[in-house]
Structure 1
Amino acid sequence: MDNRALTDRLAHAVEQGRLPGLHAVVVAHRGRVVLEHYGEGEDVRLDEPLGHVRFTPDTLHDVRSITKGVVGLLYGIALAGGHVPEPREPLLRHFPEYPDLAGDPRRAALTVEHALTMTLGLEWNENVPYTSAANSEIAMERAPDRHRYVLERPIADEPGVRRSYCGGATALLARLVEKGTGSALADYARARLFEPLGITRFEWATGADGTAMAAAGLRLTPRGLLAIGRLVLDDGGGVVPASWLATALRPHVRIDEDSWYGYHWYTGEGWAAVSGNGGQLLHVAPPLDLVVAVTAGRYDSPGQRTASVVLDEVILPGVER
């Protein structure tokens, strides 16, 4: 891969205004970093304005729903340690604090795998801005008991049939990890995922109840994000079981003609990815030995394409296949 050509294509796209809100890009190809770019612009920490930021390799950045993919990896680590239930196990069996919900035979049919693939069949709507209480994830964060809030949603579909984007599913998985390991989610992530990868700087926001915001609360540096992608490229790198990754990245539920959903990761022919509100992207392409990490600040912007332009028009045209 021609580093200079990559840099020139990126600079050209920025000059043309085709990468609004781009904050950082880090790309690794065949084991070495071939592009590392840091910009500047307005940023926020969830809903907290940070003003104008000049981004550097050490600047933490919201990764938003990429957090979900990290929780999926943590679940696999915890499963290998015997701390969490197997995917096929009934979900509500592991939430005995809600016996009234477990008594509903339709809810009793829910499994852990339904949470992993977001096919719970519960009524859930994240198609409105994340600044609105009409958004189910925001309503969950404001609920007195976030886990009960998720599990008692009205049943809308047969479980396992249709994927419905659901941050509540991630919250349930995170709770199982915390219950099984006896550790707060951020502490478990630090010890079992981040430190083994050399990630020393991160933040994980909590709600008013002190519980980690499992669906979107993680902040990482772009290099930290890249390290997670390299782990996926390396079949787990001895940190996440390779068998879990093979299952997690296998197509489970079709999204569209070219993409599927696995266990909290998107997947397609020759690639796996997680993405987040505002233009956050972690893209892993094993056949190309390629990892792309992008952070951006176009939060809640309809049709936000900065990350896809970086990937499709800047990076992939220069990859030696």
Structure 2
Amino acid sequence: MAHNQRPLASAALALVLSLFPDVGWAQSMEERLGAAVEANEIVGLHSTVVMLDGERIAEAYFRGEDERWGTPIGSIDHGPNTLHDLRSVTKSVVGLLYGIALSEGAVPPLDTPLLDLFPEYADLRDGTRREEITVEDALTMQMGTEWDESLPYTDPRNSEIAMELSEDRYRFVLSRPMVTEPGTTWTYNGGAVALIAKLIANGTGQEIDAFAETRLFDPLGIEIHEWVRGADDVPSAASGLRLTTRDLAKIGVMIAQNGSYNGQEIVPPSWLESSFRPAATIQEGFGYGFLWYLTKGPGGDPILIAVGNGGQRLTVQPNAEFVVATFAGNYNDPNAWQTTVRVLLDFAIPEVVRYRQQ
């Protein structure tokens, strides 16, 4: 498509202009964000990158306290080459990887019952509808099992932490008591993603980190990456991926370009179409697809969101090829999302307007 056929939705631009009539458009996003961070108006922000039409139009980096998968690593001077926890944004990446593996015939179809794929747990066929849970139910977090991640991730009663501490993470996930009919109720569930990653590993003969490197990272030119492993030496599919902000933004650009990057198809467009079709409703205005949050912007444009603990966020508006990747250090703060949403609305979108007006 031509450049002028991919503008941000006109309603979105009109909204921004009405909300920010006095913004100093001569100032860059980096300058305005720097002033806000210096004034303590924005707390814990580590970095943000803004992409439009496949081009990086703005970025900003800040010094701040950080962690590596829950372990403090001190005050870090974040920059373009700094690795950062994605936390649960990792889940959305795993969703893309399942689509790649499925296109290669390496993993089972979505309607396959999960217990058929884990014959070692035949004892879990207990007549409680557990046998009806499918791959798709795991991808959409509608397994129907008991799971609670509302507690802090420092609490061993948190279901994801309990899974990490268990002797067998897959048995732990599959053995949770049934509480609803599979495929009917959305419950946030990092264990479901562990199962999806295991299916990829079983089908491809590669653990999730190795498969991601060859099928996703290398084609995108992502050279710096890390996938943190749990105590059982299994890469954490729920939260263990670490990337730079620029490289997370590349994943968003690939999605906005319908699964291709630099002319190479990486994720099948049909998988993206399925992934971004609402399969569950979380609350009014927000749905859930295959490990992605879904909403709509002004004018009804689809907006795809991946979110992680502490303020990690990837936002993609495909129709505009508008992508924002943000990292922050507000771990275990229930209000961390407010910082990243403010960065998006008060700084990233106005930067698009400034860029268009230049």
TM-score (norm 1): 0.96
* Structure-2 residue corresponding to 1:196: 219
Equivalences for residues 202-281 of structure 1 within 5 A: 202-237=225-260, 238-269=265-296, 270-281=302-313
SS in 2 for 1:118: coil
SS in 2 for 1:92: helix
| Contact 1:3-1:35 within 8 A present in 2 as well | no
Equivalences for residues 38-57 of structure 1 within 5 A: 38-57=61-80
- d(CA) in 1 for partners of 2:352, 2:220: 26
What amino acid sits opposite 1:253 in the alignment? A
* Structure-2 residue corresponding to 1:288: 320
Q: What's the offset of the Cα at 1:103?
A: 4.8
Per-residue CA shift, 1:175-214, capped at 9, x if unaligned?
0000000111111000010000000111101111111110
- d(CA) in 1 for partners of 2:232, 2:30: 45
What amino acid sits opposite 2:340 in the alignment? A
* Structure-1 residue corresponding to 2:146: 123
| Contact 1:26-1:294 within 8 A present in 2 as well | yes
- d(CA) in 2 for partners of 1:233, 1:319: 16
Per-residue CA shift, 1:74-128, capped at 9, x if unaligned?
0000000101111111111111111111353511111111000000010000000
| Contact 2:256-2:319 within 8 A present in 1 as well | no
Per-residue CA shift, 1:294-320, capped at 9, x if unaligned?
000000012122111101221224435
Indicate whether 1:297 and 2:329 are aligned: yes
Give the counterpart of 1:110 among 133, 158, 179: 133
Which of 1-10 and 130-139 deviates more?
Answer: 1-10
The CA RMSD measured in Å over matched residues stands at 1.5
What amino acid sits opposite 1:294 in the alignment? T
Q: What's the offset of the Cα at 1:3?
A: 8.0
Which structure would you say has the larger Rg?
2
Indicate whether 1:314 and 2:347 are aligned: yes
SS in 2 for 1:50: strand
Give the counterpart of 2:59 among 10, 15, 36: 36
- d(CA) in 1 for partners of 2:282, 2:179: 18
SS in 2 for 1:319: helix
What amino acid sits opposite 2:141 in the alignment? M
- d(CA) in 2 for partners of 1:193, 1:3: 37
Give the counterpart of 2:169 among 137, 142, 146: 146
Q: What's the offset of the Cα at 1:277?
A: 0.3
- d(CA) in 2 for partners of 1:124, 1:3: 49
Which of 252-261 and 8-17 deviates more?
Answer: 8-17
* Structure-2 residue corresponding to 1:20: 43
Structure 2: tracts of 5 or more residues without a match: 1-7, 9-24, 297-301
Structure 1: tracts of 5 or more residues without a match: none
SS in 2 for 1:212: coil
- d(CA) in 1 for partners of 2:141, 2:171: 17
- d(CA) in 2 for partners of 1:115, 1:309: 31
* Structure-1 residue corresponding to 2:18: none
| Contact 2:84-2:242 within 8 A present in 1 as well | yes
Q: What's the offset of the Cα at 1:49?
A: 1.3
| Contact 1:288-1:319 within 8 A present in 2 as well | no
Q: What's the offset of the Cα at 1:8?
A: 4.1
SS in 2 for 1:273: strand
- d(CA) in 1 for partners of 2:224, 2:159: 30
Per-residue CA shift, 1:121-146, capped at 9, x if unaligned?
10000000000111000000010000
Identical counterparts, % of pairs: 48
| Contact 1:18-1:309 within 8 A present in 2 as well | no
| Contact 1:89-1:112 within 8 A present in 2 as well | yes
* Structure-1 residue corresponding to 2:99: 76
- d(CA) in 2 for partners of 1:123, 1:191: 35
| Contact 2:49-2:325 within 8 A present in 1 as well | yes
SS in 2 for 1:282: strand
